[in-house]
Structures are given as C-alpha cells and as structure tokens.
Amino acid sequence: MLGLIVITADTGAGLAPVALLENLLGAPLLARGIAGALPTSEAVTGVLVVPADLVERVKAEVVERFGLDEIDRVVAGGPDRKAAIAAGLAALPADVDVVLVQEGARVLTPVKLADAVVAAARTADAAIPGVAFKDVVGADEGGSLVALDVRPNLRALQGPAAYKVATLKAALEAEGADEIEAVAKSGASVALVDGDDDNRLLRGSADLSRALEVFSRRAAEYAFVYPSDLLPDDPLQKALDPSEAR
C-alpha cells in the first residue's frame, strides 16, 4: 500500500504552519501542497502533520472543506522536520510499504510528478525529484576561491520524495542528516527523477509573490483545488434525494 505524509514544522519544512493557511487564488497554501503530492495512478492513505494547536482547524478549513479525502488522519507533530515525519510514519497503517513525503509549503508541484517518484521508488530504496543546479559553485580555501567543475552533476532536490518504509525509518534514526541525505550516505539506492524548475519550497514573502505569478501562468498543470461548499450541486445526487420536490 502507498502512504503519504505531508509535513509542516517550525523548522526544516518551509513557511511556518500557520502561514500555510493563507490563500493562494482561493485555496489555502496547505491545500495546494497536499494536492500536489497526490498520485493519480493509485490510491493513497495520507497523514497530515501539523502543530497540536492547529489540528482541528486544519481538519475543518483544509481537509474537509477542500475535499482532500486522501488525508485519513491529521496528527500533531514535533517542532522540526524529523519529528514531524516520525509522527506521520507512526500514524500510517502497518501495511504501507512505500511512503511519499511532501512539505506542505511546496505548493507548485505539477500533477503526475508524484506518480513518477513512486514508480522510481518501487525499483530502488528511495526516489526524489531534482533539477540541474544552474549557479556557479566554488570552494573557499583560506579566503581564496577554488573552482569546482561539478556543476553539470549537481541537482537541486525537491519533493515529494518516496521511500521504502524500512529505508525511511532507518534514515530518521541517523544522527543529524536530512532524511534523504541519510539514505544516500547509508549506501542505499536513491533514484533521481526529473523535477520542475518552479517546484520550490516556500520560505518567505518573496516566494509567495513568485508562486502567485507561476500559478497564474501554469494553473492547468496543477491539481484542481476548490472548496466543496462552493461547488455546484451534483444533479444525480439531487435527483435521488427523496426530500427534493418532484
């Protein structure tokens, strides 16, 4: 079974959790972050991890109002990235064998990127999207610049990532390192999937302005997110409702 953990945390996961309740063109940022991580080719059981004081509010304002039925549980997590992922992993059913991990602050994930990441993770220990690193990179040796001819091989890593559950558990137990870094350092196999240049983590107000511009330009490439209470009535459901006048 495929699992999904969407994390928010005070450190290591982008914008502060409460900031993710702000809207981007009619839907909370968090709703867009969740929707972008949902695969289109298979069912998923999802856990959303938020601070304890936001659990009920997020359930009502994000999960229920925006019809994100793939999120089966909203749970309280710790203040940092690792603690949030661990809380989400503990809340997933025991029969989950592969799990997607997505930051709620990653709101510009194109549809079907999650599918590609999951497919790659099923043939490796983990998988993550990445894009070519375009900036010039150098090393500082005692105040002198040393050129590094590594730019063609560098990748800026994105999300969602996908892991075999045993691989993720081992990574969370490693000291210090980010979970994907811990997996790579352990010698486990990590498949790289082509990412998207606009699929960046929101960290501040400048990122929000940029997200608005990108979404306005590329809206058709992102998951449809709309409040269920503003959707038109289903004509079939209305016809079958015995309380409706005939």
Q: Would you say 214 and 207 are in contact if contact means Cβ atoms under 8 Å apart?
A: no
Separation between Cα atoms, residue 61 and residue 229, nearest integer Å: 11
Separation between Cα atoms, residue 149 and residue 133, nearest integer Å: 12
pLDDT at 244: 59
Is residue 245 very low, low, confident or very high in pLDDT (cuts 50, 70, 90)? low
pLDDT tens-place string over residues 186-210 = 999 999 999 999 999 999 889 999 9
Q: Which domain holds residue 57?
A: 2-240
**Mean pLDDT confidence for 13-39:** 93
What percentage of the chain has pLDDT greater than the value 90? 70
**Mean pLDDT confidence for 20-26:** 92
Separation between Cα atoms, residue 233 and residue 215, nearest integer Å: 27
DSSP 151: G
Is residue 12 very low, low, confident or very high in pLDDT (cuts 50, 70, 90)? confident
The reply to whether 245 falls in a domain is no
What is the average pLDDT score of the chain? 90
Domains held by the chain: number: 1
DSSP 128: E
- Better-scored residue on pLDDT, 87 or 232: 87
Question: At 202, which helix (H) or strand (E)?
Answer: none
- In this model, does residue 232 exceed pLDDT 90? no
Q: Would you say 74 and 59 are in contact if contact means Cβ atoms under 8 Å apart?
A: yes
Residue 232: C-alpha distances to residues 123, 224, 235, 242 (Å): 42, 15, 9, 19
The reply to whether 52 falls in a domain is yes
pLDDT at 231: 59
The reply to whether 105 falls in a domain is yes
Strand-pair category, 71-76 with 45-50: parallel
**Mean pLDDT confidence for 146-165:** 87
The reply to whether 80 falls in a domain is yes
Separation between Cα atoms, residue 132 and residue 112, nearest integer Å: 20
Is residue 152 very low, low, confident or very high in pLDDT (cuts 50, 70, 90)? confident
**Mean pLDDT confidence for 108-137:** 94
- Better-scored residue on pLDDT, 73 or 228: 73
The reply to whether 246 falls in a domain is no
CATH of the domain at 59: 3.90.550.10
pLDDT at 133: 83
